[in-house]
Structure 1
Amino acid sequence: MANFEDNYLSREHRFWLGIETESGTHFASIPASNRMVDYIEAYKITNAEYEVFLADVDAAVAFVESCRRHEQDERLFLQTGSDRGVPI
C-alpha cells in the first residue's frame, strides 16, 4: 500500500504535491469521484518536475489539467478500475 505525504496543497486549483514515502517518488494528485466513492488519483512526477511545480504554480496547474483530461494515465500510481471516476 502506498503511503502518500502531502507537502503542498492548492485549494484554488484542487491539487496536492508530495512524496510517496516508501519509494521516494514525488507525486501530484487530484480529487476524483465515481458513482460509489470520492477518491484521489496520484500521478508520479520526477524530482525536477516537483521542484518546478513548487516554484511555478502555473506549470503545476498545466500538468494537473492534463491529468484531469487523462493525458498522464501512464503515470498513475494505481491504475483505475472499470468504474473510472471523473475529476472533481
Structure 2
Amino acid sequence: MKFQDALVHREHRFCVGTEQDSGRFYVSVPVSNGMVDYEQYYEIDHATFELFRRDPDAAVPFVARCRKRELDELLIVPPGTSRGTAI
C-alpha cells in the first residue's frame, strides 16, 4: 500500500490523503505501541476527503473519534496484537 498525504495538520496531528494502489481516501493518526510509532489509516469517502482537505478543522471531531477507537470498522489495515495508542 502506498499512502500519499494531501494534507498534514500539525496542530491536531492528523493527515488526509489517498491510498495510491486502491484509490481509497483516508484520515491517518499517529499511534505508538511502546516499540514503534506508526500511523493508523481510517477510510473516508471522496466527499469527506474534499471537505477535510478544504476545511481541516471539520476533521477534528472525526479524528477524536478515531483516537478513541470508536471508528475501528473504518481501519484500512487491521491492527496487530500489540496495537498502539494515539499519540
Q: TM-score, normalised by structure 1?
A: 0.94
May I ask how many residue pairs the two structures share in their alignment? 87
Matches within 5 A, 1:42-81: 42-81=41-80
In structure 1, the gaps of 5 or more residues are: none
Alignment partner, residue 85 of structure 1: 84
| 1:7-62 deviation digits (Å, cap 9, x = unpaired) | 10000000000000111001000000002111100110000110111222232111
Superposition CA RMSD, Å: 0.8
CA distance in 1, matches of 2:59, 2:18: 15
> Which consecutive aligned stretches of 4+ in structure 1 deviate over 6 angstroms post-superposition?
none
1:83 positional shift: 1.0
Taking only the aligned residue pairs, the percentage that are identical comes to 47
1:87 aligned partner, one-letter code: A
Q: Following the alignment from structure 2 to structure 1, what is the Cα–Cα distance between the partners of residues 13 and 54?
A: 17
Q: Does the alignment pair 1:14 with 2:4?
A: no
